[in-house]
Structure 1
Amino acid sequence: MNTRVKICGLTRVEDIEAAVEAGADALGLVFYQPSPRSVVVSEAAELARHVPAFVSVVGLFVNPTAEEVREVLERVPLDLLQFHGDESAEFCSQFGRRWVKAIRVREQGQIEAAFKSFSEASGLLVDAWDPERYGGTGQSFNWDLIPSDRPMPLILAGGLSSDNVFRAVSQVRPWAVDVSGGVERSKGIKDIEKISDFIKEVHRVCKTD
């Protein structure tokens, strides 16, 4: 199975183009104002214009109101919603759009419980626990907590870079990996070489299998 790659936290057209050129499967736009990688709706709409066919545009939200999500959907052609806060399954399901739920992992059994709680999701994203931040920590977690029995696609995030993603994919065998800080020069500003190296390392796993 080929592991898919999402590059998240994009804020510039040149970074969108670089990620597409390097072979990214999905691109993430952050609609969470406290994040240094956040974009406003008008910026997101412009960025989305530069995404070609067969590359997914993902909108990332953290505890939004339903009105906020709908406002984005009216103006930005999102293919998938990604919820990183404390949203319920009922909240995530109301927009008539496929969605992914992110959880911050810190203990055994948490992922199995999330598979059940968010059974209508198109995937479950597992990230590192931080009591103050909803992702974007740059930290990894104990991958041994990830079960091999997965009733839906599992997306691995948290502290990934070209230095460790080969090992991560080889060990976890996720449906996809999600990276932001690991391919940046500074927060919100991507590094073209780091994006390319990251995706090459993911694809290298498939070649060695």
Structure 2
Amino acid sequence: MSKPLLKFCGVRSFEDYKLVSKSNADYIGFIFAESKRRVDPRSVKEWISNVDFSGKKLVAVFVNPSEVEINQVLKEVPIDVIQFHGNESVEEIKKIRDTFKGAVWKALHHHSNTLEEMEDYQDIVDGFIIDSRLKGQWGGTGVSFDWSAVPKYIMFSRNNNKLCFIAGGVNENNIEKLLTYNPQAIDLSSGIEVDEQKSKDKIQEVEERVLKYVNLSR
């Protein structure tokens, strides 16, 4: 199998950022919504001006944002991807899509009708994040869903030329199981943390397991 893209999300401090900027991640995710991982765009601007992010793409995660909120972030940070992680409608995303030059992703929770929701959004987004459904939380739950559903999400995305990230409870102990489903991309947050801070050891362990599995499967 080819190496899946990696997104390390929920970077919330300069120390987190320094670790992730030196990692093998393809994307760095910052949360600009109500969350324990929420960051201020001015802080992110300062971090990236002090330590280069080494060609990685920057993802801004929003939950039901206003245009003002989005523009405040875009004014400070050179965002490559906007990730909508709430219950934003097709019309709301299209409005942003018409002015934003980067990629747009939509996070959806895994449940019985997720494929139908993917169909609803497929014409206006470049990718999906499939996350665990947990009452009262949009994401960052640290809980995984039934990964036997992953192949159908990947097939839909490939058939429609979309990216598909698998998120929710992925860590160094279970990532090899997820890799057996040949995901296009993997999104990690709490799975690379210790005491709510990004962990160098966990990041390295995840990356080593991914590379080992990919090499063995060739």
TM-score between the two structures when normalised by the length of structure 1 = 0.91
Q: Secondary structure at the match of 2:22?
A: helix
Separation of aligned partners in 2, 1:156 and 1:91: 24
Could you tell me which residue of structure 2 aligns to residue 18 of structure 1? 19
Structure 1 residues without counterparts, runs of 5 or longer: none
Q: Give the 5 Å matches for 1:1-209.
A: 1-33=2-34, 35-49=35-49, 50-93=51-94, 94=96, 95-96=99-100, 97-107=102-112, 110-119=113-122, 120-146=124-150, 147=152, 148-150=154-156, 151=160, 152-171=162-181, 173-187=182-196, 189-209=197-217
Q: Secondary structure at the match of 2:45?
A: helix
Q: By how many angstroms is 1:15 displaced?
A: 2.2
Deviation string for 1:86-120 (max 9, x for gaps)? 0122322324231110011122xx23212211112
Amino acid paired to 2:8: I
Which piece of structure 1 moves more, 116-125 or 155-164? 116-125
Q: By how many angstroms is 1:53 displaced?
A: 4.2
Q: Secondary structure at the match of 1:177?
A: strand
Q: By how many angstroms is 1:17 displaced?
A: 2.4
CA contact (8 A) 1:128 1:140 kept: yes
CA contact (8 A) 1:51 1:57 kept: no
CA contact (8 A) 1:48 1:77 kept: no
Q: By how many angstroms is 1:20 displaced?
A: 2.9
Amino acid paired to 2:40: V
Separation of aligned partners in 1, 2:187 and 2:127: 12
TM-score between the two structures when normalised by the length of structure 2 = 0.88
Structure 1 runs of 4+ aligned residues shifted over 4 Å read none
Separation of aligned partners in 1, 2:104 and 2:110: 19
Separation of aligned partners in 2, 1:184 and 1:53: 21
CA contact (8 A) 1:48 1:57 kept: no
Q: Secondary structure at the match of 1:149?
A: helix
Separation of aligned partners in 2, 1:193 and 1:99: 31
Overall identity of the aligned pairs, in % = 27
Q: By how many angstroms is 1:64 displaced?
A: 0.9
Separation of aligned partners in 2, 1:63 and 1:12: 23
Q: Secondary structure at the match of 2:128?
A: strand
Amino acid paired to 1:41: P
Separation of aligned partners in 1, 2:120 and 2:52: 32
Q: 1:185 to 1:68 in 2, by over 3 A?
A: same
Deviation string for 1:54-108 (max 9, x for gaps)? 201100101111111111111111110111100122322324231110011122x
Q: By how many angstroms is 1:3 displaced?
A: 0.1
Separation of aligned partners in 2, 1:205 and 1:122: 27
What RMSD over aligned residues (CA atoms) do the two structures have, in Å?
1.5
Q: Secondary structure at the match of 2:155?
A: coil
Q: By how many angstroms is 1:136 displaced?
A: 0.8
CA contact (8 A) 2:64 2:85 kept: yes
